[in-house]
Structure 1
């Protein structure tokens, strides 16, 4: 029963820490995907007297592509109110409209810089960046990222505190046994073998539990429905690499705890 408590308390501690880090990874990936999708829908409208080609925008930062907008829909709406001759005259006098897309979700300073660059192009009459709406979304994403990073820092501090507390527990539970083994001349690894086994087994169990939770995470309907309420589509995320990375870090941290315990007992 005592052995079960030892395993359960450490597995629970590992699970909470790993789950928090993994959930933070999920939030970051979700934000990146949402930002990527927003960038697909965002474009700057350029109005020019003359034709503008992609080569004219080669020096524009983060430039991806340019597409000419067809003004026929606007003309279609007003053709009933004007004569055919006036309509043709209007067509010939209309400037050219272009939609410009970018390789990334540009921020406030980048929008200002890009607008200035576009206005310097000869024959460009106007540049519409739709910055008000765009920047609201950008600031919201930044707030989400900031909260995510703050949570990560808090989790890291909590992890250190929890592992330090675990050190004290292990020291109390194993110091007598280690002391006796030390009297009989047992080697360092012989004295640490029990705790090393606990650490290794508990980390494997924790990894297995996390893998079971996140393996099918992309197909959980409740998560999809919850995100759909905010017009967010759940991206397909490969959780395995991050799970392996997080579990490796916790294993290293756990082994470090064992070493600390062993050196503390040895000094006594």
Structure 2
């Protein structure tokens, strides 16, 4: 029972499940950091015929963080060589106010459209530029990456669980005589099936340690660091103590649940 082949038949699906889980964790952290970075750099341009302030803007857009006035001095300096001082003075008086608005978070496409509509309803606001095309490209790319990872991890998880249940069933058949003898002797379920739960416990620990070491090795590679740098992610994607706790908890829950399913099925047949 303790042969390498028998352990690998249980370990490989469990490792595949944990790799899928780690992929989801890394993508979620990367997206969270990237969204924070995009939110920091993303601004909405507002053109208004009257002065605005942040408190007034927040009454319409609660996610507003800052409102900075944009001074058109650089543009006026270029124009002063071509127009008279009086014309330049009149132009300054008639120029609207230009503002740059920042938000607390990176908005979705629907949120951005609602913000655009609300800002346009503010008295005096004549134009709002949300740079929707650039924003939509960034957001849809992030969304596609997140959904693809979840789909991949879900498929791997389902297949892994099916393989784990099958392997536990094989163990159960191999030792059916031993279990029947213990049943005749009146042994409780925790004793006659205890070896199955012990195997699941040991393999869960081995799988968690293996994926942890693999993740640590991958995160230290130069190519991985290059990708992280390209995404402008400053924080680390791999938090070993947190990830190990997640690995161990997930592997124990799944493997013990699979053993329990097989044990219950055997009792009902």
TM range (shorter): 0.7 to 0.9
Q: Would the aligned equivalents of 2:39 and 2:103 in 1 still touch at CA under 8 Å? A: yes
Return closer, same or farther for 1:33/1:123 CA change in 2, 3 Å cut-off: same
* 1:90 pairs with 2:95: no
1:170-193, Cα deviation, whole Å (9 max, x unpaired): 122221222233334433222122
Contact 1:18 1:247 in 2 (8 A): no
CA contact (8 A) 2:168 2:196 kept: no
**Cα offsets for 1:103-158 (capped at 9, x unmatched):** 12222222222122212222222111111221122222222222122223312321
Task: State the SS of the aligned residue for 1:148.
Answer: helix
Alignment correspondent of 2:22: 22
| Aligned 1:49-88 pairs, distance under 5 A | 49-61=49-61, 62-88=63-89
In the TM superposition, what whole-angstrom CA distance separates every residue of 1:4-59 from its partner, at most 9, and x where no partner exists?
A: 22222222221111111111221122122212211111111111122110121122
CA RMSD of aligned residues (A): 2.5
TM-score by length of 1: 0.87
Corresponding residue of 2:11: 11
Aligned equivalents of 1:267 and 1:45: distance in 2? Answer: 67
- Asked whether the equivalents of residues 45 and 101 of structure 2 are also in contact (C-alpha less than 8 Å), the reply is yes
3-state SS, counterpart of residue 116 of structure 2: helix
Q: Secondary structure at the match of 1:60?
A: coil
TM-score, length basis structure 2: 0.87
Rounded to whole Å, the distance in 1 between the matches of 2:193 and 2:265 is 12
In structure 2, the residue matched to 1:146 is 147
- 1:210-238 Cα shifts (integer Å, max 9, x gaps): 22233465543211213445x44363233
Whether 1:233 and 2:233 are equivalent positions in the alignment is yes
Q: Is the 8 A contact 1:21 1:155 kept in 2?
A: no
**Residues 53 and 66 in structure 1, CA contact (< 8 A), matched pair in contact too:** yes
Find the aligned partners of 1:131 and 1:63 in 2 and give their Cα distance.
17
CA distance in 1, matches of 2:9, 2:148: 29
Q: CA deviation at 1:253?
A: 2.4
Q: Does 2:127 align with 1:126?
A: yes
The 8 Å contact of residues 65 and 103 in structure 2, kept in 1 or not, is answered as yes
Q: State how far apart, in whole Å, the 1-side matches of 2:134 and 2:165 are.
A: 47
With over 3 angstroms needed to count, the CA separation of the structure-2 counterparts of 1:205 and 1:218, relative to structure 1, is: same
Q: Using the alignment, how far apart are the partners of 2:262 and 2:178 within structure 1?
A: 13
SS at match of 1:52: coil
Contact 1:178/1:265 (<8 A) preserved = no
SS at match of 1:18: helix
Aligned to 1:195: 196
Contact 1:17 1:155 in 2 (8 A): yes
Distance 2:136 2:87 in 1: 40
Write the distance in 2 (CA, Å) between the matches of 1:226 and 1:234.
12
Whether contact under 8 Å (1:164, 1:257) holds in the other structure is yes
SS in 2 for 1:104: coil
Q: Which runs of 5+ in 2 are unaligned?
A: none
